Structures are given as C-alpha cells and as structure tokens.
C-alpha cells in the first residue's frame, strides 16, 4: 500500500460535521509498549502539536494526574484528536496496566476499532491475548503495530510471528522492513504497492523503487498477504484468477483488504518507530482507509430509564441525542470534566440534557435522573480543552460542570430520557481500609471519596457497620496506590489499616445462665431476675426464644423484655470479643419479679446478664465467613492454583473446562484468606486468571482465629 499524501495540518478544535469523517481508535496493549509515545508521534506528524511533550509536562496525551506521574505509567484513558486526509482520528489512549481494565473497557466503548501496540522488545503477553479475544467476541476491528523498533532487544520478525501465533489467522504484515548495513530499520517496503518508503530523512518518507530488500523474502510475504486477502474477499473469482497466474489489480486488493479490516476479519501488522517517524505515514493511511467510521457500527443497546425497550438509535446528527460519559475527572479550575461519546444526535452548548445513571448502586453510585444544562462543549487533547460549537454523532468531546454526571451515565434529551446499557465493569476484589488522621481529614476524606466514586465505577466504597471501617474495594495494588494518592492530593491525610473480617460467635454446647439486676436508690428501685437455658442451633437457623416459665415467676408483660435484652446482647456480642452471637435458642425457665421495682428496662438488663452468664459457664465457638470462589485460568496454571487454594484453607468443590477452554475451579475459602488474593493470583498466573467471590456461610474458625 502506498500513502495517500502527506498529513494535513488542521485545527483540531474545528467541529466535524459528517460522522463518516471520523475514526475512533483505541490504543491498547501492555504497559510499556509505547502507546502514549506513538500517540504523541502521530500528533506531531499531523501538526496537532508542535513537538512531543508540549502538553502535560512531557506526557502529551496523559492526564494531568500527579498520581499517574508518580506511577510513571498512564493510568487513565485520554483523547488525542488529529487530522489526516480530511479525516478526524480520535486516538483513545488506554492504560496498559492490568489494574486499570475499567478505564481500558471505557476506552473500547468510546472507540470503534482497536490498535494493538506491541513492543518489538517484549512481545505478546497473556493479558494482551485475552484482550484480543475479548475484542474478537464483539467483532471489533483490530490492527497490530509493532513498536519501539529502536529497542536494544528489538526483534521485529520474531514479534510479528508471535502476534500471528497468538492472535490467529488474518494477522499478516503489510510492510517489510528495510535495514542498513548495521541492521537498523531505515524504511519499509509495501507488499502490495511494491514501493519503498525511505525514512532516512525522517517523516514524511521518500518514495521509490525497493532496492535494499530481499526480493525472495518480499515475494513470499507478498504471496501470503495476497492469499490472506483473497480468503477474506467477497469476490469468489479472485482465487481462481490468482491460481491461474493472472495479474490482480492492486487497487482492488487494497479495497478488499480495507473491507476485511473494517469488518474485523483481517488484521494488518505495521512496524513503527515513534522516535524516527518510521511507519507513521503507512499507519495513518490504514487508520483512515481501513478502520470503520462510527456510522458503520451499531450503537450499544438503549432502554428507557424504567427499563422498557427503546428502538435502536441511529448514528445521525439530526436524530435525538444519545451520549455516554466514558470518563469523569475533577479539574482544579474547570470543575467536573466529563469525557463523552456521542452515539446519536448532536450535543450543543447552552442546552439542557437529561443525565441518567443506574445499575451501580452497590458501588456507591446512587441511581439518578436529573436535568442539567451543558454550558460548553470542548475537544480534549490530553489535559487541554478547546471549545467547539457542537459535537455530532460518532465524535468524542468533553463537557464541564455537569455536576451530577458520573462515568457510565447517559446524556439524552429531557423530552425523551434514555439509558445506554453500560459496559461490563470489572469487579473490585482487593479491599483497602482507610482512616483519616484527624477530624478535618475525615471531612476531606468524605469529599474526596465522593469525587473518586463518581469518576471510577471500578471502585466500590463500603462502610462496614460491623467492623466500623471505611473500605475501598480496588482492582489491584496499583489501583489502590492511585486511589490513595488522589485522596491525599485532594487534601485528605489518610492512613491504611488492616481490613477486619466480621466474625460471629455461637454456643458450642448447652449452657445455663442466671441474670440478676437489683438496685435500690431511693424511690422506685430496679428488680429483675431470670434464668435461661441456651443451646446451639444449626448454622443459619438464626435465633429462637422460648418461654417455659410456670406459675407466673416472670410476669407475662416482662417476658418480651427478657427477649429484647437477649437480642440486644447478641448484637453487641460478648465483652471479650464484641462479635455478634448467632444461631442459638434461648429458653426462659424461671425468674423473679417485684410488684413495685420490676420494669421493662430491668428485665431487659436481666436477660442480657443471663446470656453473658451462660457464655461464661459454657463454651463459645468463633465463626468465620466463607466465600464461594470461582477461578478461571489456563490449564497450565491449574496445579499452582489448586495448591495455593489448599494453603488458604480452601475446600475445592470441583474443576471443569468452561466454554472458552479455560479451567474453572470452584472452591469454598475463608474470607480472611482472600484479602490479598486479587494480587497473589495475578502473580501466580502471570495475570491470566480471574476470579469471583460471594458470601456463602459462616463456619467454625480454627482455634488460632479465636479472640
């Protein structure tokens, strides 16, 4: 393939009118593969910025996030719009670190195609293969860039072969490298055009006849590419003509290739070196020519806020507005900034919109439906906002000060409120307990948590009523580090503390208790005596209260008071532990009352004292929560996972192969052993395993777990 012309310099703040002139491309791949560097190079090449590093202190498309700078990795998605050959390309730079898969999926929601960036020095990891398969399941068009050709360990041929082996059929190079005498890649040979693109003078390349490439290698690679294109072509006569030795029209092959890429069945590989500009012209050509415009893809399903069905929306600027917030941040100067993908209609400034968010109440996002006014519409470039007059269907933009908007919310017309079905959010499984160092820090913590939860749907906030802890559920250690850094940047001086697991207690056997509450203090005193028998019930049976008093030893009106006192003491727990008591039967067998001094409060106290006395005389067992755990992993890691679960006191319930060919392990594991399982499992399986957990039941804890 040849280039369609040099990149045109254009004002990125000019609003696009036609959705067919837009390409939304997510940059995905492992951390360190060079996604952000590639985006910067493309911005420079197309004139969107003057040089790399002119925005955001050296990280052009990274967020102005001090936590991201300290982490030395991109932890949030960012937008880099550029113009090439009258096409606007919105590059959605996604995090490569596994903890930020929520941001990555938001980036995929904002995009119509995925550009996989693979470092020539590192190759393909298991997490990237899993992401490729995830994109394949939804039919998203994909292409591969082999980056960092200047890496000391660069192995372009090896990584290209590894991509083909890992990603499957349809992954073929469009260009072969041309090297100088020292092995440095100085140009590319187009396998279809059979032209040389010489980058020794930098970007844009000089075009000429190939003289420095191995003709046999080019011939073999060209034949493989043509056969791959023919296999995906809708023209069934192509293969016959090719086998008969007929010359095939290159332009027709290019059209077939672009069609196959567009529908997600063919995946070109392009080598790129961001530092020298090598491959940028060829990459831009394929991005604009082969990746689909927004109008080629169906928007996500839409319902009404009450859940009733709604017809499929059209990618039409004149249709009713349907847009989705794919990221939320709070800027010190702009306030709340919402990054928005418009699926239908046109988003205009100074107009009212309906903001609807539902389905994430378990993570601290209360369901909401409110009308607000959009003051301004912007084109974002990293942390810089440039105001535009509108944003049409298929485009990305930013709006500010829509105070109720959270990540995942839908913006629609107030006259016809709608709700976009949200993308799949990863379940946060790493708990972190936080506490402010002072009262003022507690106030700042509450404010900071509200902002974080609104921005990050992968973060779950839990105020545990039993342990009295504020627990943040994160997706991993890096996610937790960033969350804590953002809290501290918001002015909250916070510490972490060990996460407490809520335990229970029960009676290990029958026991008897005597409760006597007698006080004389002038006037009416307090008098209540009761005797109880306590016995354990089966797990999960709850609490039973039985009245076996005879002869009116405890007046009828005070029997409910005894039960109330026993229940209150069960909730408070015993003095030496404070864990709630569960699964017991308490039988009131005897007691005494006074005609003047007995009262409801006195018998409540006597009932509580009787239960405590029975516990002191009897045997009490500590119960710990058990979780049902499901772990999915490649078969190679089955032994390691089973051994690790055994070391966590887990009881394996079964193993099987799931529909994707991965191993599924079901087990019952104490919750106390799962506090860091999200981190440990990732390390144990090189990031290839995932797990879920849900509460199962309480069971006796080992004696070492008792208070």
Phi, psi of 206 (to 5 degrees): -90, 135
Q: Is residue 2 part of a domain?
A: no
* Count helices and strands in the chain by DSSP H and E runs: 15, 36
Of 497, 512, 544, the position where a domain reaches its end is 497
User: Token pair of 85, please?
Assistant: 């050959």
- pLDDT on residue 554: 94
Range of the domain at 405: 314-420
Closest CA to 41 of 250, 377, 332, 275: 275
Return the percentage of the chain with pLDDT > 70, whole number: 92
* Residue pLDDT, tens place only, 310-332: 888 889 999 999 999 999 887 77
> Looking at residue 125, which CATH number applies to its domain?
3.40.50.300
Reported as a single tens digit per residue, the pLDDT across 662-688 is 899 999 999 999 999 999 999 999 888
Mean pLDDT of 124-153: 89
Mean pLDDT of the chain, nearest integer: 87
Looking at the domain assignment, is residue 309 inside a domain? no
Please confirm whether the linkage preceding 204 is cis (ω < 30° from 0).
yes
Q: What percent of the chain has pLDDT over 90?
A: 55
Q: Rounded distance, CA 484 to CA 465, Å?
A: 22
DSSP string, 234-294: S-THHHHHHHTTPPPPHHHHHHHHHHHHHTTS-EEEEE-BTTTTBTHHHHHHHHHHHSPPG
What tokens appear for 23 in the block? 């390409």
* Inter-residue contact 687 to 125 (CB < 8 Å): yes
**Which CA distances in Å does 553 have to 526, 596, 597?**
16, 15, 15
Q: The domain spanning residue 614 has which CATH number?
A: 3.30.230.10
Residue 666 in domain: yes
Residue 72 predicted with pLDDT over 90: no
Q: How confident is the model at residue 520 (pLDDT cuts 50, 70, 90)?
A: confident
Decide the pairing of beta strands 377-381 and 391-392. unpaired
pLDDT over 80 (residue 62): no
Flag whether pLDDT at 467 surpasses 60. yes
**Least confident range of 124-138, 356-370, 437-451:** 356-370
Is 199 part of any domain?
yes
Phi-psi region of 271 (alpha: psi -120 to 50; beta: other; left: phi over 0): beta
DSSP state of 703: G
Task: Give tens-digit pLDDT for 24-50.
Answer: 999 999 888 999 999 999 999 998 888
Q: Judge residue 174's burial from the number of C-beta atoms within 10 Å of its C-beta, 0-12 exposed, 13-18 middle, 19 or more buried.
A: buried
Paired with 411 in beta bridges are: 323, 355
With contact defined as beta carbons under 8 Å apart, do 499 and 675 qualify?
yes
pLDDT value at residue 127? 82
Same domain membership, residue 125 and residue 225:
yes
Residue 157 within a domain: yes
Q: Is the pLDDT of residue 10 over 60?
A: no
Same domain, 513 and 626: no
- Residue 535 vs residue 52, higher pLDDT: 535
Q: Is the same domain home to 281 and 340?
A: no
CA 198 to CA 663: how far, in whole Å?
48
467, 363: one domain: no
* 382/79 Cα distance (integer angstroms): 6
- Looking at residue 63, its pLDDT comes to 44
Average pLDDT over residues 349-372: 83
Which two three-digit tokens encode residue 528?
């209540």
Pair (129, 47) in one structural domain: yes
Q: How confident is the model at residue 362 (pLDDT cuts 50, 70, 90)?
A: low
- Give the CATH number for residue 329: 2.40.30.10
Q: Write the pLDDT tens digit of every residue in 399-408.
A: 998 988 888 8
Same-domain status, 81 and 102: yes
Q: How many domains does the chain have?
A: 5
Same domain, 173 and 220: yes
Asked whether 569 and 608 are in contact (CB, 8 A), the reply is yes
- Domain assignment present for 358: yes
| pLDDT at res. 74 | 52
Stretch 418-435: mean pLDDT: 90
Looking at the structure, do residues 646 and 602 belong to the same domain, yes or no? Answer: no
In this structure, is residue 168 part of a structural domain?
A: yes
State the CB neighbour count (10 A cutoff) for residue 669: 22
- Statement to judge: residues 47 and 119 lie in one domain: yes
Q: Quick check: helix, strand or coil at residue 591?
A: strand
In this structure, the answer to whether residues 133 and 213 fall within a common structural domain is yes
CA atoms within 13 A on the CB side of 677: 26
Q: Is the residue at 12 inside a domain?
A: no
Mean pLDDT for the stretch of residues 430-441: 89
Q: Do both 614 and 626 map to the same domain?
A: no
Q: Render 660-673 in DSSP notation, one character per residue.
A: TS-EEEEEEEEGGG
Check pLDDT > 60 for residue 52: no
Q: 608 by DSSP, 3-state: which?
A: helix
Confidence of residue 350 (pLDDT cuts 50, 70, 90): very high
Whether the predicted pLDDT of 58 surpasses 50: no
Q: Is 671 in the same domain as 554?
A: no
DSSP notation for 430-496: EEEEEEESSHHHHHHHHHHHHHHHHH-TT-EEEEETTTTEEEEEESSHHHHHHHHHHHHHTT--EEE
pLDDT in tens, 184-229: 899 999 999 889 999 999 999 999 887 756 677 888 898 889 888 8
- More confident of the two residues 150 and 272: 272
> What pLDDT, on a 0 to 100 scale, did the predictor assign at position 313?
86
Which comes out higher in pLDDT, residue 536 or 68?
536
Per-residue tokens: 512 = 């008897």
Token code pair at residue 137: 């399941």
Write the CATH number for 667.
3.30.70.240
Question: Can you give the pLDDT at residue 67?
Answer: 41
Model-wide pTM > 0.85:
no
Q: Is 563 within 8 Å of 603 (Cβ atoms)?
A: no
Last residue of one domain, picked from the residues 618, 634, 662: 618
Q: Which two tokens stand for residue 560?
A: 């409910």
R_g of the chain computed on alpha carbons? 32
* pLDDT tens per residue, range 406-416: 888 999 999 99
Count other C-beta atoms under 10 Å from residue 75's C-beta: 24
Among the candidates 569, 600, 618, a domain finishes at 618
Where is 410: in which H helix or E strand?
strand 410-412
């Amino acid at each position: 393939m040849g280039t369609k012309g040099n990149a045109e310099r254009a004002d990125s703040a000019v609003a696009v009118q036609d959705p067919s002139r837009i390409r939304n491309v997510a940059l995905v791949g492992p951390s360190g593969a060079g996604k952000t560097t590639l985006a910067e190079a493309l911005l420079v090449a197309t004139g969107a910025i003057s040089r790399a590093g002119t925005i955001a202190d050296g990280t052009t498309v990274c967020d102005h996030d001090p936590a991201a700078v300290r982490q030395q990795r991109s932890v949030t998605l960012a937008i880099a719009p550029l113009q090439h050959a009258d096409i606007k390309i919105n590059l959605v730079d996604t995090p490569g670190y596994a903890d930020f898969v929520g941001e990555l999926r938001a980036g995929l929601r904002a995009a119509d195609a995925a550009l996989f960036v693979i470092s020539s020095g590192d190759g393909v990891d298991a997490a990237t293969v899993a992401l490729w398969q995830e994109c394949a399941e939804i039919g998203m068009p994909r292409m591969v860039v082999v980056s960092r050709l200047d890496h000391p360990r660069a192995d372009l041929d090896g990584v290209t072969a590894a991509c083909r082996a890992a990603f499957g059929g349809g992954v073929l190079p469009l260009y072969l490298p041309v090297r100088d005498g020292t092995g440095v890649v100085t140009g590319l040979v187009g396998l279809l055009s059979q032209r040389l693109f010489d980058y020794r003078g930098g970007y844009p390349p000089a075009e000429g006849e190939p003289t420095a490439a191995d003709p046999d290698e080019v011939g073999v690679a060209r034949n493989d590419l043509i056969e791959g294109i023919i296999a995906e072509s809708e023209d069934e006569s192509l293969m016959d003509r090719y086998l008969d030795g007929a010359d095939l029209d290159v332009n027709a092959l290019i059209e077939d290739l672009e069609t196959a890429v567009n529908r997600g069945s063919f995946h070109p590989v392009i080598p790129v070196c961001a530092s020298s500009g090598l491959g940028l012209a060829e990459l831009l050509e394929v991005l604009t020519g082969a990746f689909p415009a927004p109008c080629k893809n169906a928007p996500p399903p839409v319902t009404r806020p009450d859940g009733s069905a709604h017809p499929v929306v059209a990618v039409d600027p004149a249709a009713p507005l349907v847009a989705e917030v794919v990221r939320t941040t709070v800027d010190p100067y702009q306030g709340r900034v919402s990054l928005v993908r418009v699926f239908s209609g046109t988003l205009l400034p100074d107009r009212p919109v309906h903001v609807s968010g539902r389905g994430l109440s378990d993570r601290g996002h209360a369901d909401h439906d409110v009308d607000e006014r959009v003051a301004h519409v912007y084109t974002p470039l990293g942390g810089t906002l440039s105001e535009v007059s509108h944003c049409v269907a298929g485009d990305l933009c930013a709006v500010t000060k829509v105070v109720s908007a959270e990540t995942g919310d839908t913006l629609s017309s107030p006259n016809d409120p709608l709700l976009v079905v949200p993308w799949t959010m990863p379940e946060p499984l790493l708990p972190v307990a936080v506490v402010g160092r002072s009262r003022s820090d507690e106030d700042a913590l509450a404010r900071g948590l509200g902002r974080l939860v609104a921005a990050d749907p992968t973060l779950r906030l839990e105020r545990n009523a039993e342990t009295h802890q504020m627990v943040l559920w994160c997706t991993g250690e890096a996610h937790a580090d960033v969350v804590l850094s953002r809290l501290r940047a918001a002015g909250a001086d916070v510490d972490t503390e060990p996460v407490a697991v809520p335990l229970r207690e029960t009676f290990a056997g029958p026991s008897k208790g005597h409760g006597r509450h007698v006080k004389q203090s002038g006037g009416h005193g307090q008098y209540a005596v009761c005797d109880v028998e306590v016995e354990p019930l089966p797990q999960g049976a709850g609490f039973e209260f039985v009245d076996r008093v005879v002869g009116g030893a405890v007046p009828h009106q005070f029997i409910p008071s005894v039960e109330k006192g026993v229940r209150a003491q069960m909730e408070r727990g015993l003095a030496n532990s404070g864990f709630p008591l569960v699964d017991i039967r308490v039988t009131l067998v005897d007691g005494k009352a006074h005609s003047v001094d007995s009262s409801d409060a006195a018998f409540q106290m006597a009932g509580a004292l009787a239960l405590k006395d029975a516990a002191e005389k009897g045997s009490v067992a500590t119960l710990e929560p058990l979780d049902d755990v499901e772990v999915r992993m490649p078969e190679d890691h089955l032994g390691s996972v089973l051994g690790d679960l055994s070391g966590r006191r887990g009881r394996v319930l079964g193993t099987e192969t799931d529909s994707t060919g991965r191993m599924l392990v079901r087990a019952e594991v104490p919750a106390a052993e799962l506090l860091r399982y999200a981190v440990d499992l990732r390390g144990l399986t090189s990031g290839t395993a995932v797990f879920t957990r849900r509460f199962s039941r309480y069971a006796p804890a080992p004696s070492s777990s008792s208070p």
